[in-house]
Amino acid sequence: MEFLEWIFLIFLNDIGVVPISQDEVTAYPRAIPKLKAIAITLREGSREEQMTNEEFEKQIEQMLAIQRQLQESDLRRAERLDRVDEQLTRITEQQLQADRKFDLLTEQQMQTEQKFDRLIDVVNLQTQRLSGVIEVLGLQNEQVQELFGRVEMLERRKES
């Protein structure tokens, strides 16, 4: 239903000419108080004296002004919602990028930890090998000293 038809139906309902349902009345809920005030003014004016065409046109202009205000308000609200939606989209994209970066960093950390664990294993293995070499060298050193001791003993026997 066009806005003007709706306004006239409200007006006609208020002066008792055409009954309309509550659903039709609440089609533009923010305008109802203003429109009812205009309708009451029109109704009271029609009771007291016949409304002139000029007054009637003035009332219609007021109603059209109200309609424009409502449309402009709705347009501003829609524009704000669009801006909020764009901001939300940007924030969502940034969050997705941050999540991807976090996943990448987590993967890199896991790889670094695995490399570190392998390095520790290599160091432990080398330490074990070195311990084995030191043990062998220690045994060989004992054997060498034992041989030197025998050689000295043999040299003393020879000299004596």
pLDDT of residue 1: 45
Six-digit token string for 63: 């109603």
C-alpha 41/C-alpha 11 separation (Å) is 10
pLDDT of residue 60: 82
Q: What is the pTM of this model?
A: 0.42
pLDDT of residue 100: 97
- pLDDT by residue for the chain (160 residues), tens digit each? 456 666 666 676 677 665 666 655 555 555 555 566 666 666 665 554 555 667 777 888 888 888 889 889 899 999 999 999 999 999 999 999 999 999 999 999 999 999 999 999 999 999 899 888 888 887 787 888 888 888 888 888 888 7
CB 39 within 8 Å of CB 15: yes
Spell 136-155 as b/e; 16+ CB within 10 A means b. Answer: eeeeeeeeeeeeeeeeeeee
Three-state secondary structure call for residue 50: coil
Give the list of residues 6+ apart from residue 7 with CB closer than 8 angstroms, or none.
35, 63, 67
User: 2 φ, ψ to 5°?
Assistant: -65, 155
Q: How many CB atoms lie within 10 A of CB 94?
A: 10
pLDDT of residue 156: 84
